[in-house]
Amino acid sequence: MLQKLIIQNLAVVEDAVIPFGEGLNVLTGSTGAGKSIILTAVDLLSGSRARRSLLRRGTERLTVEGIFSVPPTWPLREDLGMEQDEELVSMKREFTAGGKSRIWINGTLTTIATAQETAQSLLELHGQHRQQELLDPAKHIVYLDTRGDYGELLDECMKKIERYKDLSDRLQHLVAEAEEHRKQEDYLRFQLRELDGLKLDPDTDKNLEKRIKRMENVHKFISSLEGARTLLSEEDGSILEKIAGVEMSIESLTPFDESWKEAISGLKETRISLQELVRAIGRSLGEIQEDPGDLEMLHERSAAIQRACRKHGLDYDGLLQRREEIQRILRSLTDGSDEIVETNREMEEVKRGLLPLLEDLSRRRKRSARALDREVTGEFIKLGMKGALFQTDIDRLKNSTFTGTDDEIHLNPRGWDQVEFKIRTNVGETIHPLAEVASGGELSRITLVLKKLQIEEKGIPTLIFDEIDTGLGADLGAVVAERLSELAGRYQIVCITHLPQVAARASQHIMVKKRVRGGRTATSATVLTGAVRVVEIARMLGGKGKLREELATELLEGRKRARSSAG
């Protein structure tokens, strides 16, 4: 139950503490006094987006805090780390001029998602915008499903539908991709032949560059290698010959001084390494061919690779990747058909399991719809809509979000049913869709009935209505007041109202008033009792005067008598 709201710097509300009690709580006041700001505060606690326009001019931050009492059986108690004997939950929202927004639950900083989940378990806010949602047939199936006793079946269907949709999307993608690749197949094969003809390897471009540089400088290359070989081994007094002489000289010392053996070992290793170098030089000279045609061939191959890079708009590495991509696409023309077959097989398997579930879901929806029709029609009669008839139509979808490939099955995320609420408001009239028939007053009563049934299913302790009595005449005020009072016997109701009959029925009456102080407009909220409450209800009846005050007193006395007889 919502015990109080603490609001600071929210639009025209500078500083307000608004207490709420059990049963029916009403907020009244002149048009434009700021009653809807109270709903904005609750909406912020529920995680809605904060806007700078909500911040009171000249202030740096707004804060909204709601204090709720919860029973020991409240489902989120353990998630929030509450002790079993803790009764109060605090939700606090802060928004700064710099755009920073934070939410705390019981003093602990939390996320918007957690705040939304918590608020949804504590209260439901029904403003005029949500009232209009009742006119949208797309919302009707959701409402009906919240009333049904087939939640597990619905969850299973929705999972299979999601799987079927994923497979359907994949199949469409594979088929479209295969078709596009087939259109390009000849051209892709031509491109692949061109690229294969270049004999590309990861280092081909670098190796070509090295070979071309060597061939362009072949005479200098040969001269340098031959000069090195001559110095090492072919002249009298060559390096190898001298090292051999040094080796013999040092070796002659070892019979007298073994410490020179290590030096001898080093000299041998050096001589062997230089001999290997001489052999490598010989091999390299043997491989060099001075045929100018070889250099021309290398230049032509390098030019062909560069032309291919320009043609594809890629560097050498990109050209390698393009060749791999083309190979993959051409493979997919064969492998893709296997994927298409496998995806089709999976779709059929999912569909075989889904169809009986959809049939069962549809049957149970229709059964639930008949029960809903009886309940709503009965409530209409109690609200003065004699002759009214509520009807839930359920048809198979005609348009599909996605389809199978052989026989179509038309689905939305909740199955293959299309649900629409219809109504007849008077005897002798025909049934029409809700959006075509409902006047403002009728829509208010329909909303009240459906919300009453909905919270019975959800078990939400607090229901907040924004002008649920919009469009109702005085003759129906007492009827709506009676139904709200009856509902308040089981739930906490917070209602913004303009009807004096509803206000008189409240166990807690809060007046919202706008004042100008120090050149600034400020809204305050005051709990009314005694004579001031009589004055406010008299205002709602049309103004001041003894007659209206007497009528207001009579309305309040009627509430007391009703409570007394109920007790």
Residue pLDDT, tens place only, 435-485: 776 566 667 777 777 777 776 666 688 888 876 666 566 667 777 788 888
Strands 492-496 and 417-424: unpaired
Model pLDDT for residues 184-243, shown as the tens digit of each residue: 767 777 877 877 777 777 777 777 777 777 666 666 767 777 777 777 777 677 887 788
The predicted pLDDT at position 405 comes to 44
Model pLDDT for residues 181-200, shown as the tens digit of each residue: 677 767 777 877 877 777 77
d(CA 69, CA 280): 92
d(CA 480, CA 469): 8
Identify the helix (H) or strand (E) that includes residue 105: strand 101-105
Is residue 410 within 8 A of residue 398, CB to CB? The reply is yes
The predicted pLDDT at position 248 comes to 83
CA distances from 37 to 5, 75, 98, 259, 461 (A): 12, 29, 21, 102, 22
The answer, yes or no, to whether residue 344 has pLDDT greater than 60, is: yes
d(CA 267, CA 274): 11
The whole-chain average pLDDT of the chain stands at 82
The predicted pLDDT at position 197 comes to 75
**pTM for this model (two decimals):** 0.62
d(CA 277, CA 256): 34
